[in-house]
Amino acid sequence: MNFTIRKAQAEDAELLHQLGRMTYSAHFKHMWVSTDEMDAFIDKEYGLTVLQSSLAAENESWLIAETDHPVGFAKVTWNTPVPDSGMTGAMLNKLYLNPDQTGKNYGKIMFESIINEARDKREGYMWLEVMAENVRARKFWEAFGMQHIKDIPFVTASQRSTLQILGMVI
């Protein structure tokens, strides 16, 4: 089966809206205490207006992964400061696949593609935030050589979690 990655365009906002809602909920629902807070978070991240603005931003790139249909997406923000570190680089905001598409090396292929683009842009550093309790994702990123930089709080009205910032020189 063919696997391709393409740069998302303005007309992909609705597709990203649908993929974002579905994949985020499927992967992270169990980590949220409040479904209402999770839904509000998803609306903030994947609302059509938010996506349209993000797709038009020069320092942000969205990618869509496809086989015979869309199976995932990623978002990168270029030249972004790592909190409280003095470092700047490409921030991988999101890289999500439909749950039935994990384990097929698609995430690895997507991340390698993003690293190559970041190198082409001379970013020098790649970083991301991952929930501390998301052990599977942390192990995935660490397999690429990403290292723990620091912890930051993720706080909502009903819960407090820890985000870990991971990064690597590219």
CA distances in angstroms from 39 to 28, 33, 80, 95, listed in the order given: 11, 11, 27, 19
Q: pLDDT tens, 103-150?
A: 999 999 999 999 999 999 999 999 999 999 999 999 999 999 999 999
pLDDT single digits (tens) 18-72: 999 999 999 999 889 999 999 999 999 999 999 999 999 999 999 999 999 999 9
pLDDT in tens, 93-111: 999 999 999 999 999 999 9
pLDDT at 1 over 70: no
Could you give the count of Cα atoms lying within 13 Å of 102 in the half-sphere of its Cβ? 11
pTM here is: 0.94
Beta-strand pair 125-131/88-97: parallel
Q: Which residues in the chain belong to E strands, given as ranges?
A: 4-7, 60-66, 70-81, 88-97, 125-131, 147-155, 160-169
